[in-house]
Amino acid sequence: MRGILIIFLVALSASVAGQNIRAYGMVRQADTWHMFGGFEDSAVVISVTQSQYSTITNAAGDLWTGIEADGISMSGDTMTIDNAGDYFGAFSVTFTGSTGNVFIFQIYNITDGDKEGFDIGVTGDGADDYVTVTKPLYFEDVAAGDKFIMRCTNIDASNDPTVRFGAYFLTYLHD
């Protein structure tokens, strides 16, 4: 029986080299690199200059808390990817900001010096009205060690947003 199993495994490895493998039924993945976190009940003012991006952080640099993580870390409000590949997820911020001012949010790769994906904008609704913006994330072909920050700006004026709540998740997709 043992010889048959060895022959089967050798034949299987030879037949799938450079081929796709199809599984019929459930395939379970042991784990994948991921991260989840955020903040709540905040009143942190993000100092912005019109059309200049500012990091979404507090004075201590620990606004964004990592709740669960494997292969991705959050330190000093900077996210670090430990393993190269493509990642997907979402980033959401609830804030208050000047009525009629357009606030733009982005994820910025400080290692490469460029934003990831598209910016997302929303119009402020005043100091007493919460506005939420959600940005889908897709990090394509990031290198191990790449560092990311969350940023925002006001394209209409230098009126500062106040961040109230935030959440994010990021999951490894493939090499």
Q: Which domains does the chain have, with CATH numbers?
A: 32-174 (2.60.120.40)
CB 24 within 8 A of CB 140: no
Instruction: Look up the pTM and report it.
Output: 0.83
Write a three-state SS string for 91-105.
Answer: EEEEEEECCCCEEEE
Q: Which two tokens stand for residue 146?
A: 């790449």
Q: Give pLDDT tens digits for 2-38.
A: 444 444 444 445 455 667 778 888 878 778 999 999 9
Instruction: Report which of 54, 168, 50 is spatially closest to residue 98, judged by C-alpha positions.
Output: 50
Q: Give pLDDT tens digits for 62-106.
A: 999 989 999 999 999 999 999 999 999 999 999 999 999 999 999
